[in-house]
Chains A and B, each alone.
Chain A
Amino acid sequence: MNDTPQPRKLTLYVAGQTPKSIAAIANLKAIVAGPLAGQYEIEVIDLRQNPKLAKEHSIVAIPTLVRELPVPIRKVIGDLSDVEKVLVALKVQGE
């Protein structure tokens, strides 16, 4: 019902090319391309390259998917292997 003109941003934090990270990136791309097509755009941040961002964004677990807007902030940790659960977790009121 919320017709936002711009897609919202999802940030995925990974640390290097670990199997979990690669799986998470692949799973997220599939979700954004499929069930949530057009609603989100993805940014992948490798904390190995830029570890300062881990503190800045309070990242502890890897991989972590962060949706900062709309509030409240949502964090999903894990390789996002269960699509249904990811959709539930990203769902906000009015969606």
Chain B
Amino acid sequence: MHAPPSLPKSLTGIEGFDDLTLGGLPTGRPSIVCGSAGCGKTLFATTFLVHGARDYDEPGVFVSFEERPADIIANVASLGFDMDRLIAEEKLAMEHIAINPAELAEIGDYDLEGLFLRLELAIDAVGARRVVLDTIESLFSAFTNQAVLRAELRRLFDWLKDRGLTTVITAERGDGTLTRQGLEEYVSDCVILLDHRVHNQISTRRMRIVKYRGTAHGTNEYPFLIDRDGFSVLPVGSLGLNHQVFEERIASGVVDLDAMIQGGGFHRASSILVSGVAGAGKSSLAASFLHAAAARGERAIYFSFEEAERQIVRNMRSIGLDLEPFLAQGLIRFISARPTFYSLEMHLAIMLREVQKFRPQLVVLDPISAFMESGDPLEVQSMLLRMVDFLKSSGITGVFTHLMHTQGGDYATDVGLSSLMDGWVLMLNREVGGEFNRELYLLKARGTAHSNQVREFVMNDQGIQLLPPYLGEGGAVTGSTRRAEEARTRRAAAERAAQLERARIQIDIRRRKAAAQIEALQAELAGYEAEMASAASAETEYQRRAADDAAVMQMSRRGDGKTT
């Protein structure tokens, strides 16, 4: 590794690949892209060339040793690569080297100068900076003198390098070797291996950078996709734990649920697990999150692994969640795919790509348990872990639903995901007294104080409501039992009120009787007082009279002088 620190690189324009290699393929050097038949070598090479000519002002030459140029042009036309136009604009040249071994005899010494001359002509014609040799190993079946061929190939690669041409050489995968003819011996700068594997009848394309001299690169296998957007590598392994942390709370769309969490909802960028048995309302709650996000003007993606888009939209309308306007505004995207459509890696890769493209603030995966059938638990867990990490590091809230098969005391998820999750809403559907009632319990909400109550969960055309807990004599009750209990309580209350009323009336009667008695006594008292007053006045009159009488008597006895 004695290369200069900043090895010049040429962008391939292949989504993900340029990130993975920190800039593309080594400039001015040959790189090998090897793999078995049908794994996308030619498409890789074509993409590299077309992007160079079209986007990076680096004209290119496509040397085909197998397919006819017309076929190659037709094959990539569906990906939006207009090679004909690039050829007309002299940004691209096609050179078809076809050798029919049947009409060829080798007698004596020869070289491949004709190939060099043709290449040189094509390169000079467009001023090429990029060259693709697809698939040069075909020469090995055309010529019998392997010694000459190997010497010439070595010369060719050196020649391309001397001219500073960034070259992609495609090669067929050999048995136990990277390339059938050991071409990697001649090209030591960059070797990329493409692979196409079928496991459990699900195919996955993977790419690995076997060698990239002088640069840091990921050594993992990365899934890649070939679809209508062309060739894209999905670097899913390169995710760290540098999550963004938010203080902001987001509404779930269920006011009562938010109220159960101190602060008014889950934190933004939380991973929320909604687990429950069949029919517990997991998807409805998830859709509620979706609806609430869109109502805030945020974008959201709903990855559905069981239901189709129209079905979800129709079903959610029945609980008062109209997703249609948000779909029309482009705030919501539904992506439905059966778990068995792709391998786990591919699912993850596709989800990551869709998320990167759509840039949502909320992502729903419904349900993650669907993957359990398509992979072994460790792989599923690793895939979901990467999804969770990715969403968190992007500041995206994740809602994951999980179908539980039992609702006993053991609430651990099959995929062992609980520890990854910041929030865990448990939804039960319990049979009591001949009916099933939905219950919701907030098992976990990291970083927030939250209610410990089991709440009854009711869905109707008004949306989703959580009824306050009703504690009967035998603990919390729901459904009809709850209503019976409530009625019983109401009857008891009425009874008590009636009793109180009766008592009040009786007491009032007694009170009034007492008041009447008091009145009578007061009248008697007044009588006595009047009697008393008249007695007193009679006495006063008597006293006055007596005094008068005494005075009269004294006056009459004045003759005998003074008396003492």
A55 touches B143 (CB 8 A): no
Q: A30 — which chain B residues lie within 8 A by C-beta?
A: none
**How many angstroms from the CA of A24 to the CA of B142 in the assembled complex?**
21
**How many angstroms from the CA of A51 to the CA of B117 in the assembled complex?**
6
**Dominant SS at the B interface?**
mixed
Q: Cβ of A73 < 8 Å from any Cβ of B? A: yes
**How many angstroms from the CA of A73 to the CA of B105 in the assembled complex?**
11
B99 touches A60 (CB 8 A): yes
Q: B139 — which chain A residues lie within 8 A by C-beta?
A: 60
Query: Known: A52-B121, A54-B118, A55-B121. Is A62-B111 also a contact (CB below 8 A)?
Result: yes
Query: Known: A48-B117, A60-B97. Is A78-B107 also a contact (CB below 8 A)?
Result: yes
Q: How many A-B residue pairs have CB under 8 A?
A: 96
Nearest Cβ distance between residue A36 and chain B, in whole angstroms?
15
Q: Cβ of B71 < 8 Å from any Cβ of A? A: no
How many B residues touch the partner, as a band?
A: 20 to 34
B106 touches A77 (CB 8 A): yes
Q: Cβ of B559 < 8 Å from any Cβ of A? A: no
B113 touches A62 (CB 8 A): yes
Q: Cβ of B95 < 8 Å from any Cβ of A? A: yes
B107 touches A89 (CB 8 A): yes
Contact with A along B83-103 (1 / 0, CB 8 A): 000000000000101110001
Nearest Cβ distance between residue A67 and chain B, in whole angstroms?
10
Nearest Cβ distance between residue A21 and chain B, in whole angstroms?
9
**How many angstroms from the CA of A75 to the CA of B105 in the assembled complex?**
6
**How many angstroms from the CA of A82 to the CA of B108 in the assembled complex?**
7
Query: Known: A55-B95, A61-B112, A62-B112. Is A47-B117 also a contact (CB below 8 A)?
Result: yes
Q: Which of A27, A54, A72, A85 gathers most chain B CB within 10 Å? A: A54
Q: B115 — which chain A residues lie within 8 A by C-beta?
A: 60-61
| Chain A contacts with B in 69-94, Cβ cutoff 8 A | 72-82, 85-86, 88-89
Q: Which of B105, B114, B121 gathers most chain A CB within 10 Å? A: B114
Q: Cβ of B246 < 8 Å from any Cβ of A? A: no
Q: Cβ of A8 < 8 Å from any Cβ of B? A: no
Q: A73 — which chain B residues lie within 8 A by C-beta?
A: 103
| Chain A contacts with B in 17-59, Cβ cutoff 8 A | 18, 20, 23-24, 27, 47-48, 51-52, 54-55, 58-59
Q: Which of A20, A51, A79 gathers most chain B CB within 10 Å? A: A51
A79 touches B108 (CB 8 A): yes
Nearest Cβ distance between residue A11 and chain B, in whole angstroms?
13
**How many angstroms from the CA of A14 to the CA of B316 in the assembled complex?**
77
Q: A54 — which chain B residues lie within 8 A by C-beta?
A: 114, 117-118, 121
Q: A23 — which chain B residues lie within 8 A by C-beta?
A: 108-109
Residue of B with least CB distance to A14: B113
Q: Cβ of A12 < 8 Å from any Cβ of B? A: no
Nearest Cβ distance between residue B123 and chain A, in whole angstroms?
11
**How many angstroms from the CA of A13 to the CA of B105 in the assembled complex?**
15
B107 touches A62 (CB 8 A): no
A85 touches B113 (CB 8 A): no
**How many angstroms from the CA of A60 to the CA of B65 in the assembled complex?**
11
**How many angstroms from the CA of A62 to the CA of B103 in the assembled complex?**
16
**How many angstroms from the CA of A13 to the CA of B109 in the assembled complex?**
14
Looking at the complex, which one of B103, B105, B121 makes contact with A85 (CB distance below 8 Å)? Answer: B105
Q: Cβ of A15 < 8 Å from any Cβ of B? A: yes
Q: A20 — which chain B residues lie within 8 A by C-beta?
A: 108-111
Query: Known: A20-B109, A60-B97, A61-B112. Is A77-B117 also a contact (CB below 8 A)?
Result: no
Residue of A with least CB distance to B124: A51
Nearest Cβ distance between residue A48 and chain B, in whole angstroms?
7
Looking at the complex, which one of B99, B110, B121 makes contact with A62 (CB distance below 8 Å)? Answer: B110
Query: Known: A51-B121, A52-B121. Is A64-B114 also a contact (CB below 8 A)?
Result: yes
Q: A55 — which chain B residues lie within 8 A by C-beta?
A: 95, 118, 121
**How many angstroms from the CA of A15 to the CA of B121 in the assembled complex?**
14
Residue of A with least CB distance to B122: A55
**How many angstroms from the CA of A13 to the CA of B112 in the assembled complex?**
12
Q: A59 — which chain B residues lie within 8 A by C-beta?
A: 114, 118
Nearest Cβ distance between residue A31 and chain B, in whole angstroms?
11
Q: Cβ of B3 < 8 Å from any Cβ of A? A: no
B108 touches A89 (CB 8 A): no
A47 touches B110 (CB 8 A): no
Q: Cβ of B120 < 8 Å from any Cβ of A? A: yes
Q: Cβ of B104 < 8 Å from any Cβ of A? A: yes
**How many angstroms from the CA of A76 to the CA of B114 in the assembled complex?**
14
B103 touches A75 (CB 8 A): yes
Q: B108 — which chain A residues lie within 8 A by C-beta?
A: 20, 23-24, 27, 78-82
**Residues of A participating in the B interface, judged by any CB pair closer than 8 Å:** 13, 15, 18, 20, 23-24, 27, 47-48, 51-52, 54-55, 58-64, 72-82, 85-86, 88-89
A-B contact pairs, 9 of them (CB 8 A): A54-B121, A58-B99, A60-B139, A61-B110, A62-B112, A75-B103, A77-B143, A80-B107, A89-B105
**Residues of B participating in the A interface, judged by any CB pair closer than 8 Å:** 95, 97-99, 103-115, 117-118, 120-121, 139, 142-143
Q: A51-B118, A79-B110 are in contact. List 16 more A-B contacts (CB 8 A).
A: A51-B121, A54-B114, A55-B118, A55-B121, A58-B97, A58-B98, A58-B99, A60-B115, A60-B139, A61-B110, A72-B103, A74-B103, A78-B109, A82-B107, A82-B108, A88-B105
